A and B are shown apart, each in its own frame.
Chain A
């Protein structure tokens, strides 16, 4: 009990942004090293994680990091056409696009996720980026992913949505579709494709959130609509699909309002 209240007190009074940075081995990690070698200073809030290429960061990792309590995430990669792996950073850009879409859906300010291209020779830029980003997060305040149940549920839903085959497929194909054309050999209109991915992200997020909410207790379409602030007819359309895919079950209604409960897959095993 005392432990708990102390923690609460801390978060209210002495809150400091917690920031995680993912840097690619070849450019931005080297840039960060150069920053150190050159003694450019930046705030202490960031903790850096080295990966071989920025494209390694799956959307769900980002969401995991927020779920774990981070307030901001910085992803650093090479400038376009500098990638050690040729096209890695092009894919990074598309994935970050998806993450931002999902963060927005989850009600997390998309500014909490920042993508920067930092080359091995841009030590000073790295310090500037980190300083600016820390200040920005400071202004935005704590992320609340661990303290607010609804934010938590929403981030968890965004996480689940990011793992759906549908979004992975769309975002996985996005770069190639835009740069090389589609299977019919046609050019793809970036705006149209962006619109399709926007809509798909929203749908998948909303479906994941329905499952998240109905996992805790059975809920009606109207309750879900109210909690999620989504029109009830749209909620019903999602339920139609989720039932079809055996993700959610209708509990036999008493009266005229059916309620739904998420099916725990493999629960019995």
Chain B
């Protein structure tokens, strides 16, 4: 191993969705991770959300797999209930002192069964449910919490001792002390998230005084099926369903009064979502959203906004609400506001305040202990060209801690931070991770099944209802069961040893555990039998807790009978289980980056710094892309100079091969094994692909005299002239949303509002007397970009809003441009005479994306951007493994966001490239070639592109489907589709499923026979 003074471990501070993503990416690419979390369990804010925009996915459903993987990952150590006390050392070698507050429960013994909380007599407010529910003094934050370890809230506990008496695992330790430890890591990632704005500070809205004024996050819990009202929206005052709900935007955002001038970036979208979900839950509910500018700037967000208006009939009122008063009789709320200059009031049953995002409470303490800078708003300071790095070397940042942002941007940054953190310590990769060694696998071929059955009491969770001894007794009577026993906790460490002993003693070759759910516990037991030399697929579980004892608590007899049925079914399948093989695929450790703009260059450099050989392909003669055309970044940094520096760095890097002036002709292969032919004829073999083909500014030919009058320019063209000093004039009109948010291009281009602000400010700086008008629909200067909007307004730029469907008219009046627009606020026509007309035109994808998509079998949006695997949690992945996307070809975005995504793609790619081989799934589709006639019906059912129709090598006239087990994820879609029965799914064969069904219905059949 190469000697290194770097430490191959990373500390991730904060276990929300951001921390989870960073931790998983790092742990999957050869680094040890310490995930430090303030709370007793990880999950953060996302775990509290009901649904997520713009897909309306259930937040917990999409998040739970990441929670479980993090909790179970052998290279991730969870350090929960902990605070960072001190940090010494430097980048590559930090010594972090961490204090763990006492849980008062031994995490190695607690099985998370929950009997303690059931009997605890102390009730207190449940923070996870925003105090709309109660929890006990011994508790887990939420039912799916990871780690599933209870802890005692010492402030509330009276020390009655009942939980300790109740706990069969003897896990309660009242005198547990806090502990301090020093952890040695090479990099640190900060992802402590954000705090909600305290709505009490906006006294005029009555939060905390009026019961029916709630915050958006409280409303989120109210919408949730696991929340207090089981998903029915109710008024906290009296349980009535509110007929009318008012959503008030910008509570604690864009508000000088409370000291938060920035835009929180996410509230417009979450309010639209909450309004839609409320409407879905009760059709008669009438939501109304009061907003200033609708900031639906993300990918496909405007379409979501349009649906809210057109399909769901949600009303939107452009107004900042002045105040809210309660009708003391009805507890209804009177909302006072001004619309088009006219004071109005309206009564609502419920008011939801869209509270903004604040830096976390401990931001300042963290910045002092670790030694990085905060910006003037108290968030972590970053720069546009290095959005992931804090001011301290070796300390990186992701998520809302650097600026308010939504989940997809957070997840992308989290991967980006993982990439940066890994680069810092790339020389120490694989130095601290562990690889488990298992004994040689026993050959069980030809053996009669000898099944061992382990039935769990789960403390009293199962045993209190189901007669466990009689279930174990019954199991012994089943055919092929060689051994059965009952355990207090089958998942406990000592039982794992017992299972291994019994496998030896009774020569067991199949194991069945009847306990909780395989979704959380199957991997544990599979590991146990693997340690005893059995193939891990020779295992089956019967879920007699979550799906039996817990739901039939008052029917002991029937529950016991059902538990026996479930065990009989599991045994029936176990009899037919076969050892499965996890095939390994060799990985070519080179990367291909398509696109030589900022995103592609950043990605290529980062990969190279981690020791990867990279090929970068750029269609133009020079590297640089759009970055060469950008001027006046908000931060004053000069992107053009930086682009040139980046290009030089790429060109001079020995590990990067630059292919300019050529496109991609063809790409074949799959993860770890791609072969690409360039138009130049060069052939490249590589293991992953990063798509960073970029986008371009829309040229609005034929609109607003563009192309006819030389003084009508796009924003980029105007800025270029401005930079060169070629702009001369006293009056300027900017028109927003040119080619965006209209038919055919329904979505927002995200960057044009801010781009307009920086241009307008520059014009005003050069000529303070210039008349500058911005004609707009919504100003979408989200996050800290709001400052430029404010600056422009303060410098005297005039903003005029026009109706979405009444575009301004432009005429050429002998050298001057005359712009006629109807001011929506006054309904009056305004005529402006101007020297320049600047069109803030949208971002469009490059046409070459369309050619690449079929080569890589990746999907696109209607507008021609690439469509990622999941809009929320897999922003830079495709369903096709080994292919990643970043930058403008994903959708319009700012330079810093492109860089963040470019780095994210690197981290995702490194989860593949850091390994010499990949292990495929064991549960995969397999083909009986004699039955397959190559009809191809299965092919489109495969989301992972693992199927292909090929010519049978043995018989050239015959066609066959080829299953690429390297890509197969084992869902079984193709098996269900196959008309000839040629495809089967290993581990879920027809006969295995049928055996379970027969076993389930055994008693029924007997009864029917008796009747006949």
Contacts and interface: CB of A to CB of B under 8 A. Distances in A.
A184 B159 contact: yes
B230 interface: yes
B239 A173 contact: no
Contacts of B132: 237, 240
Contacts of B554: 265-266
A149 interface: no
Main SS at interface, chain A: helix
A122 interface: no
Interface in B98-141: 119, 121-123, 132-134
A232 B349 CA distance: 15
A182 B119 contact: no
B164 interface: yes
A249 B349 CA distance: 23
A266 B556 CA distance: 12
Nearest to A171: B121
B238 A225 contact: yes
Most chain A CB neighbours (cut-off 10 Å) among B123, B158, B164, B232: B158
A250 interface: yes
Contacts of A203: 123
Interface residues of B, number: 34
Query: How many residues of A sit at the interface, in one of the four size bands?
Result: 35 or more
A169 B162 contact: yes
Interface stretch (B240-248, B260-268, B858-866, B882-890): B240-248
Interface in B125-172: 132-134, 154, 158-162, 164
B232 A258 contact: yes
Interface string A153-191: 000000000000111011001000100011111101000
Contacts of B154: 184
B237 A250 contact: no
A213 B555 CA distance: 26
A186 B133 contact: no
B801 interface: no
Contact of B243 (A185, A221, A256): A256
Interface in B539-558: 554-555
B656 to A, nearest CB: 58
Given A250-B232, A256-B284, A265-B554, A188 B133 contact: no
Contact of A244 (B133, B175, B241, B284): B133
B211 interface: yes
Contacts of A250: 230, 232
B122 A196 contact: yes
Contacts of A181: 159
A173 B229 contact: no
B210 to A, nearest CB: 11
Interface string A186-205: 10100001001000100100
A108 interface: no
B130 to A, nearest CB: 12
B996 to A, nearest CB: 29
Nearest to A241: B134
B228 interface: yes
B1012 to A, nearest CB: 29
Contact of A236 (B123, B159, B238, B241): B238
A177 B122 contact: no
B160 A256 contact: no
Contacts of B241: 253, 256-258
A173 to B, nearest CB: 4
B174 interface: yes
Contact of A182 (B158, B228, B349): B158
Interface string B570-599: 000000000000000000000000000000
B240 A235 contact: no
Contact of B174 (A169, A184, A220, A225): A184
15 contacts: A173-B121, A173-B160, A182-B158, A182-B160, A183-B159, A183-B174, A185-B175, A200-B123, A221-B238, A222-B240, A237-B134, A256-B284, A257-B240, A258-B239, A269-B555
Closest 5 CB pairs of A and B: A182-B159, A221-B239, A232-B238, A183-B159, A169-B121
